[in-house]
Chain A
């Protein structure tokens, strides 16, 4: 499928020139982007593999060419200044700036319990009206962790640590 056809079908495409090869990616759906962002957040130690898998799913072209390029220049596809970051940004283009800030705060907190706790406390203090980035990040942490007992335990630990610091 050529570039014009892809653009007509998906609205926008991402063109990346890596190691002399031109690769074309189509945008992720919001659902996929949310899942990828959650996976990046949940397991930062395998973030590169997650980012490359996400890029492969959006890549349109010869799979061998993608794999060869990803083997040679893996960091070009990372979620930090790589193709994956662009794909995630593109997926969140439609979202309001305040929500984007919340997503960034949620992604940025990663496994830092202090930052998670700050977000949770902001979410706990939220009482209607426009939500701050931290409160939104807190809501995302709750949504992310609610489905497992281990996740709930981590949330609990975050709270205990924040309260222990006298916040």
Chain B
């Protein structure tokens, strides 16, 4: 995908879905964009992770796939190659961590 067509695709996705999380794989020249996680999706993720914590990686990858709005045709291939880019590791956050952060927003909560 040329740079200008990628730009216009991202612009269209941003218009359709609002805030996006964009990930560039520079070596492969591939860009993915992810829309926000919905409340239903987060509830479902927590439910699955609670029941089967050993499947956390799969659940995170599936959630990213659900949110992938740009580059989704190549998602499976990249998820198999670079799973930690999407589901994160202890040291470095992945796409799912940023999506979860977005779902929290910059909330300030105080008792008065």
Verify that A and B bind, or say they do not: yes
Residues of chain A with a CB closer than 8 A to B110's CB: 14-16
Taking a contact as CB atoms under 8 Å apart, the answer to whether B42 and A16 are in contact is no
When chains A and B are docked, how far (Å) is the Cα of A83 from the Cα of B100? 16
Residues of B within 8 A of A52 (CB): 39
In the complex the two chains form, is A47's CB within 8 Å of B111's CB?
no
Q: Judge whether B11 is part of the interface by a CB distance below 8 angstroms.
A: no
Task: Tell me, in angstroms, the Cα distance from A63 to B102 when the chains sit together.
Answer: 22
Asked if B46 CB lies within 8 Å of chain A CBs, one says yes
B39 and A70 within 8 A (CB)? yes
12 A/B residue pairs, CB under 8 Å, sorted by A: A13-B111, A16-B107, A16-B109, A45-B46, A45-B51, A70-B39, A71-B39, A72-B36, A75-B103, A75-B104, A83-B109, A86-B109
Q: A73-B103, A75-B104 are in contact. Are A14 and B46 (CB under 8 A)?
A: no
B29 on the A face (CB < 8 A): no
Binary contact track B3-40/A, C-beta < 8 Å → 1, others 0: 00000000000000000000000000000000010110
Name A residues whose Cβ lies closer than 8 Å to a Cβ of B: 3, 7, 12-19, 44-49, 52, 70-76, 78, 81-83, 86, 90
List B residues at the A interface (Cβ < 8 Å): 36, 38-39, 42-43, 46-48, 50-51, 100, 103-105, 107-112
Q: Is the interface of A mostly helix, strand, loop or mixed?
A: helix
Partner of A14, one of B48, B100, B109: B109
Once the chains bind, are A82 and B107 in contact (CB under 8 Å)?
yes
Given contacts A18-B107, A73-B104, A73-B105, 4 further A-B contacts (CB under 8 A): A13-B112, A14-B110, A44-B46, A73-B103
**Are the CB atoms of A74 and B39 closer together than 8 Å?**
yes
